[in-house]
Amino acid sequence: MTTVPSTGAPTVADVVAALRHAPAAIPARPAPDRVIELVLGLHENNARQWDREDAARREDADDHAVAQAKRDIDALNRKRHDFVEAIDGALAAVIDQSQAAPPTTESPGMVFDRLSVLVLRIASTEDAARGNAGDGDRYAARLPVLHAQLASLQSALEALFDDVRAGHKRFVPYRGFKLYGGPGPNAGDTRRD
Residue 4 lies in a domain: no
CA 96 to chain centre: 23
Residue 131 lies in a domain: yes
pLDDT over 70 percentage in the chain: 82
Residue 155's pLDDT band, with cuts at 50, 70 and 90, is very high
Q: What residue spans of 95-185 are helical by DSSP H? A: 108-131, 136-166
Residue 192 lies in a domain: no
- In the DSSP assignment, the letter for residue 133 is T
pLDDT tens digit string along 51-100?
Answer: 999 888 888 988 898 999 999 999 999 999 999 999 999 999 999 999 99
Q: 12-21 vs 34-57: helix axis angle to the nearest 10?
A: 40
105 or 2, which is more confident: 105
Residue 155 lies in a domain: yes
Residue 193 pLDDT: 39
pLDDT tens digit string along 1-51?
Answer: 333 344 578 899 989 888 988 865 555 566 668 999 999 999 999 999 999
Residue 54 lies in a domain: yes
Residue 136 pLDDT: 86
Residue 170's pLDDT band, with cuts at 50, 70 and 90, is very high
Residue 69 lies in a domain: yes
Residue 135 lies in a domain: yes
* Partners of 170 in the β-ladder: 103
Residue 31 lies in a domain: yes
Total structural domains within the chain: 1
Q: Which domain holds residue 109?
A: 12-166
Instruction: Report the b/e string of 133-168 with b at 16+ CB within 10 A.
Output: eeeeeebeeeeeebeeebeebbeebbebbebbbeee
